[in-house]
Structure 1
């Protein structure tokens, strides 16, 4: 006698970015579903970037709050996004996942550089048995090779890994799923190029498919960003024929869903833990350090000087929009620095021509750049702001046309004028190399990135350097009358 076809539901989330109250809404949906079906008839997966160090509970618990929430909801597997893999050291991730996670971390394209092996707290793939339904999971993350290598990781090119594992697993499973923190362009390309994949659950580029897209025999699904939606895929499975049908594949809005009180309690508990962990005093200020988005200020100048001095570059350059509030006189704690500089952005050094520098400085005088809202690329501020520098003296005339306002730039180290065809070593922020903000900065060459340090770590260091504190009120932009 043929066994009755049975239903199965798969939930998937991506790019929560520590919007933990939205995770509480996900918990509500999952709990309601559990009342209707047994555990072997459902599965919950996360496709990366659940953690975001902008959130104080995440920062102050080294991601433990996120792991606790994933455990509580009942996730069975996750893949790392760049917000996990590049903002925490391997040692930090190993500790939080090994000590606390009840789910699998799938790292199909991640290897340790030293050993060439996958770390012990990850698995290269997973086969889950849900009753008689066999589900294969492949999990890949974006290959930011240069950055990962600075942290001791080797990230394999995901297409090759997916093709190899698909060939290996296809005959062993009924449903083969790729958990892809690669982005929509890559998800579509994988569906087109690699046969044998049933579902691609996507993330990274924050794309939303309210209804799944189908390419060939592969369904592509994604739930947007910040927990605004939750992916839901319903299957009907026949164990005699080993065949399944996707009856529904959607992303459901959570706007009207109430948050789960248990998750809200976890958030509150870790809020207290985070505040305690971040209460450490790193410096004491004798006077207030102000900040402005529209012009240079002592606090922005201090960050520019920290970039220049800490890296040993000729010039330090930052956008003023990185810093969200002034630092008041008195004790400065880690929590204060996190509050004013929450962006998980790393320092970098690159070579720029004088012409490229000049273009960027000119752009920083224009309102359309100063008020430009930036989304992603590590930036967690409001707008770009203007430029603060160390190592340059800039003389400008606002009555001149755009891109002709800067009349002279002096390079402090040499005392000479900035030359358009000369090359200068500039310490700045990694986000500029991604083509966001001031356009010419992305053209810099011989880039050197610094990980795991964030720019707030450099700011903490600079607050203990009396030479930098004493000179940061000095203006470097000089308005010509």
Structure 2
């Protein structure tokens, strides 16, 4: 690498994949050994942390901050995993006094209308003889952010404002974007004056940068499997910049020992912090993904009660295992239900409910494998319910197996609208088609479904009731 160039390294969507992050750290350290500090810039584009990992969960994200600090990141923006899985108070504790700058132009606290002290709209640094202006943008999930006390504004309007603020005094203007590839392309077209967009959120890997309306667009995929490298220098005639980029794979590299050591220490700290029991079970509770199970029914009941709904619904695949009799710790609940998913209340017709129940009997739905949208399980699994009793004929034709549904003792009315407590994941169009048509009445934040599960485990009546089956196999019942 030519010493006259600015070398900009970028990561995104690491999601607490610490093993891969340790290999990425090895590459970053290699670059640091060959590039002077005043010509090197390291940034992250959000979703560095993910509460699926016990090291992150048990340290409140402190392990992620430590890794960003130790590797010498100078700027990071907020992804939805930072901004939506922690409250503003928790983020205060995480980021206050950090040595790297958190930049995000389209978030501010609803109370006071200003960003917190640890967050900046933009940052200006001087590297390789260039004045570099950096601003951050995060995806505009307004309904969710408002529940947590944030105001999230239009990223394109804020980008235009940042460019106006930075362009006159900066040689290079860089956007750290947690918006997704399609939005990055739109941003490049809609907001002139951005030299470089470093992307995230949709986990896209650009091994060769895109150039859209004169703006270079780069992204390094997901999980630290690549590190993005951008080289920036002035043109020989002094008019404008030469920008090139690539994504360097980290597979096969050794783990950086110091990074691995930080993560190992965090694991021990997290286990200690999460070792206290939250409930004592007198009997085991099964949690199978491919069948109705007591733990799934308990979670469905918790969703119904927490949202004030008539019916509670969850997919059994949210639960990776059952619980043994005896003490249940925070660590065990996290292991069984790791997904950072929030409850939500939807309004859904009886006909759509029946459709969802039918789908949950089909192998293509039970075994559906996916990741994202908060889901950190393996397969979708069967529907578990509370407030509804379902009679089905397993020998009947697919999508014609439901024979009867009672809702709180009354026959289901296919034309009626029901209030259903379920998972925010389903409102994003993931999983059962029958649930996608629901109208969202309310999202519940900052509660995670595992918080509801933990609370219900301490409710003796709820635990006893979850042992009662809600699904009955019967060929004799009349069809709906």
Shorter-chain TM-score bucket reads: over 0.9
Q: Is the 8 A contact 1:5 1:239 kept in 2?
A: no
Whole-angstrom CA distance in 2 between matches of 1:118 and 1:324:
38
- Aligned match for 1:49, one of 47, 50, 58: 47
- Aligned match for 1:375, one of 363, 371, 376: 371
1:28 corresponding residue in structure 2: 26
Which runs of structure 1 show a deviation greater than 6 angstroms over 4 or more consecutive aligned residues? none
Q: 1:69-468 counterparts in 2 under 5 A?
A: 69-99=67-97, 101-237=98-234, 241=238, 243-246=240-243, 248-412=244-408, 415-468=409-462
Match of 2:442, SS state, is strand
Q: Is the 8 A contact 1:371 1:383 kept in 2?
A: yes
Deviation at 1:244, TM superposition (A): 2.7
Match of 1:35, SS state, is helix
Q: 1:37 to 1:470 in 2, by over 3 A?
A: same
Deviation at 1:265, TM superposition (A): 0.4
Deviation at 1:399, TM superposition (A): 1.8
Q: Is the 8 A contact 1:318 1:429 kept in 2?
A: yes
Q: 1:15 to 1:446 in 2, by over 3 A?
A: closer
Q: Is the 8 A contact 1:188 1:215 kept in 2?
A: yes
> Quick check: 1:63 aligned with 2:57?
no
Aligned length: 474
Q: Is the 8 A contact 1:80 1:181 kept in 2?
A: yes
Whole-angstrom CA distance in 1 between matches of 2:162 and 2:258:
38
Deviation at 1:310, TM superposition (A): 2.3
Q: Is the 8 A contact 2:3 2:35 kept in 1?
A: no
Q: Is the 8 A contact 1:136 1:177 kept in 2?
A: yes
Q: Is the 8 A contact 1:133 1:239 kept in 2?
A: no
Give the root-mean-square deviation of aligned CA atoms.
1.4
Q: Is the 8 A contact 1:303 1:458 kept in 2?
A: yes
Whole-angstrom CA distance in 1 between matches of 2:390 and 2:104:
48
Match of 1:437, SS state, is coil
Deviation at 1:311, TM superposition (A): 2.2
Q: Is the 8 A contact 2:43 2:76 kept in 1?
A: yes
Whole-angstrom CA distance in 2 between matches of 1:17 and 1:168:
32
Whole-angstrom CA distance in 1 between matches of 2:22 and 2:446:
30
Whole-angstrom CA distance in 2 between matches of 1:179 and 1:195:
16
Match of 1:191, SS state, is helix
Structure 1 residue runs of 5 or longer lacking an equivalent are none
